[in-house]
Amino acid sequence: MPASRVSAEAIAARLSAVGLTTRVEELDRFTSVEAEVPEALSAASWREVLDVVAGADRFGLHATSLNGRTLWAVVHRTVPTTGDVGGPGHQR
C-alpha cells in the first residue's frame, strides 16, 4: 500500500472519530479524502478537524447551497529521485 494511502487512511480514521463520514480515493498522483461536514459541527470539533487536515499536503472546504459542505484533503504520492529509482542497492 502506498504511503500516501496509509496517511490518507489515518486522516480518514481521525475524521471519522470526530463523527464525519469519509471516503478515500486513490488517484495517479495523490490520495484524496473527502468528508461531508454537517451544519451543526461544534467549535471544538472544527478545531479537531483542522488539526487533522493540517497533516495533509493540501486541504480545503467546498460549500454550496445545493450540496452542503465537503471537506477535502490530499496526500501526494512520493516520487523517487533519480538516484533512488533502482532502489537502495542501485544508487549512484
- pLDDT(88) > 70: no
The H or E element spanning position 65 is none
> Distance of alpha carbon 73 from its chain centroid, rounded?
4
- CA within 13 Å, CB half, 88: 0
pLDDT at residue 67, as a whole number: 78
pLDDT at residue 78, as a whole number: 77
> Which grid coordinates are listed for 89?
542497492
Asked if 32 and 42 touch (Cβ cutoff 8 Å), the reply is no
> Distance of alpha carbon 18 from its chain centroid, rounded?
15
Measured from the Cβ of residue 39, the count of other Cβ atoms closer than 10 Å reads 6
pTM for the model stands at 0.79
